[in-house]
Amino acid sequence: MQTPAQDAAHMARAVELAAHGHGTTSPNPVVGCVVLDAAGQVAGEGFHAYAGGPHAEVVALAQAGERARGGTAYVTLEPCDHTGRTGPCSRALLAAGVARVVIAVPDPNPKAAGGAARLREHGVAVTVGVLAEAAERVNEEWLTYARLGRSHVTWKFAATLDGRSAAEDGTSKWITSPEARADVHRLRAAADAIIAGIGTVLADDPHLTARPPTATPVPGPVAAAAPAPAHSDAATGPQGGASAGSGAAVGTSGGDSAAWPGDASHGRAGSAPAADPNGAASGAVVSLSGVGSAARPGDALGGASRVPVGVSALAGPGDAAGGGADAAHLEHGGAGGGSSAVGPAGSAGSGRGAGRGEGAGRRGPVRVVVDAEGRTPPFARVLDDQAPTLIAVAEDADPRLDADLLRLPRRDGGLDLEVLLRELAARDVVSVFLEGGPTLAGAFVRHGLVDRVVAYLAPALLGSGRAALGAAGVGTIADLHRLRFDEVSPIGPDVRLVARPVNQSGREK
């Protein structure tokens, strides 16, 4: 039996492993797993790499082979107990003869939960809650999606030091540096959907595609800086996998990819990548949440964000969407709107699967324009063929647009944004990257629908022009939306700040 400190260290490693799935597992969670043999040596490691692929436990157990018998498995999310595209992990753990299972976070999904109970029924010792905070953080997007039945929202903005996101004449290109903009592209690429308001589309004609650069340094993720879990007592690396004892932090940066900075390898194999000696952070990242301790690996944007297991078979967020589902529907509309409605599953390229494909075949994030009246110009760049696009319009609008339309009820003078997020969740959009502008962002904040803020601040002043955030329902100081800074990182000449609401939305509630 391991000590609590050993439990925490092995779970920290599992959280690190889970972070490797960021950007590729949706609509599944990111999950990491470490398997020890009966002597307490690391025998296997794994993470869930893509929806439909093997779950973390299965990967780690395969590495461990016979060594798993009588051993201990550390899993960041409760092992599933249902058969989706893959078999139940609880059964795989039982079949492998594991004697103890340590779980960080219970599965909130009633269809997939029950793994812990099943294991206990069969005499396996189960411990729940080890390093739960870190495991929640690494999986925050999927947990929001699974618990609330709506997509998780990251609002990103770029502003001057005095908080302006556009000049008086509406120009806003560019406030921040190429390095900061490259970082935005990486974050976009890891999201399932990118949302912008019609005001931004009309003003800037953005593509809203993810075009991650290939060689731009990114700030080191806190995850990469996290000390290796104390595997030093477990010098034996898993067969064929990374050396668990090496303390190899999840590598960082890489210019590759569709990942949150610091996410490291995005290979499809769910085994741990080898340590990257060059993977050290290229810029100092100051975590404000104690990530320096092994207690919070995977924290901060670098290693934070999404994750989970076998969502394909989860109680669909569509179920949870409840009222949203009948209030809105997806259609591929020519002129005239509603006649060509299709179900929420959507037509190719617009509904389920529009946000993400599976495994390596994933398309870019779906672009969503919030445009009640359907004013998106027919030749707007967001309507090109580089990524799927949904135009969210009012139920009673009559847009003359050859585009995939998502009909939504009106609310407070705009579209109902909560229904929008539920409808997107029903289409497997776990994570949303909200790009503004200020009016739309203000509405998301007003309704408590922003789960994470990523701000790029340039050392520049405007003095007038648009504020980064429009009206957010605050009339008096007592009503301000309080956030907590979780990370500060320099990016080129700019600074990236990551903050989360303290007492509203998602997990902070």
Please report, as ranges, the residues that interact with ligand NAP according to CB under 6 A: 157-158, 165-166, 170, 172, 175, 196-200, 203-204, 370-373, 375, 414-415, 417, 435-440, 443, 466, 470
In angstroms, give the least distance from the CB of 173 to ligand NAP: 8
- Secondary structure letter of residue 508 according to DSSP: G
Q: Residue 214: which region, alpha, beta or left (left: phi > 0; alpha: psi -120 to 50)?
A: alpha
What is the sign, positive or negative, of the torsion defined by CA atoms of 288, 31, 388, 442? negative
What residues have CB less than 8 Å from 55, skipping those under 6 apart? 31, 48, 79, 80, 86, 89, 92, 309, 310
Q: Which is nearer to ligand NAP, 116 or 455 (CB)?
A: 455
- The question of whether 121 is a catalytic residue gets the answer no
In angstroms, give the least distance from the CB of 462 to ligand NAP: 11
In angstroms, give the least distance from the CB of 319 to ligand NAP: 25
Residue nearest ligand NAP by beta-carbon distance: 199
Candidate list 16, 57, 140, 487, residue with the active-site label:
57
Q: In sequence order, what DSSP letters do the residues of 399-461 get, joined into one string?
A: ----EEEEEE-EETTEE-HHHHHHHHHHTT--EEEE---HHHHHHHHHTT---EEEEEEES--
In angstroms, give the least distance from the CB of 465 to ligand NAP: 8
According to DSSP H, which parts of 111-173 are helical? Answer: 115-121, 132-138, 140-148
In angstroms, give the least distance from the CB of 382 to ligand NAP: 12
In angstroms, give the least distance from the CB of 61 to ligand NAP: 45
Q: Which is nearer to ligand NAP, 58 or 191 (CB)?
A: 191
Q: Which is nearer to ligand NAP, 170 or 322 (CB)?
A: 170
The pair of three-digit structure tokens given for residue 428, joined into one six-digit string: 């497997």
Q: Which is nearer to ligand NAP, 143 or 417 (CB)?
A: 417
In angstroms, give the least distance from the CB of 447 to ligand NAP: 8
Query: Which amino acid is residue 362, in one-letter code?
Result: R
Q: Which is nearer to ligand NAP, 78 or 371 (CB)?
A: 371
What residues have CB less than 8 Å from 50, skipping those under 6 apart? 21, 24, 25, 28, 268, 358, 359, 360, 362
In angstroms, give the least distance from the CB of 340 to ligand NAP: 22
In angstroms, give the least distance from the CB of 376 to ligand NAP: 10
Query: Which amino acid is residue 123, in one-letter code?
Result: G
CA–CA distances in Å: residue 492 to residues 156, 208, 321 = 17, 22, 41
Minimal CA–CA distance to 105: which of 72, 131, 84, 71? 131
Q: Which is nearer to ligand NAP, 64 or 184 (CB)?
A: 184
Distance, in Å, from the CA atom of 421 to the CA atom of 432, rounded to the nearest integer, reads 9
Q: Which is nearer to ligand NAP, 356 or 466 (CB)?
A: 466
Residues 84 and 313 sit within 8 Å (Cβ to Cβ): yes
Query: Which amino acid is residue 270, in one-letter code?
Result: G
CA–CA distances in Å: residue 23 to residues 39, 296, 337, 423 = 35, 20, 33, 20
Cβ neighbours, 10 Å, residue 503: 11
Task: Supply φ then ψ for residue 337, to 5 degrees.
Answer: 75, -115
Q: Which is nearer to ligand NAP, 105 or 158 (CB)?
A: 158
CA–CA distances in Å: residue 297 to residues 12, 223, 231, 345, 361 = 6, 5, 14, 36, 29
Distance, in Å, from the CA atom of 226 to the CA atom of 298, rounded to the nearest integer, reads 8
Q: Which helix (H) or strand (E) holds 9?
A: helix 4-19
List beta partners, residue 476: none
Q: Which is nearer to ligand NAP, 73 or 455 (CB)?
A: 455
Residues 213 and 182 sit within 8 Å (Cβ to Cβ): yes
Distance, in Å, from the CA atom of 47 to the CA atom of 24, rounded to the nearest integer, reads 11
Residues marked as catalytic = 57
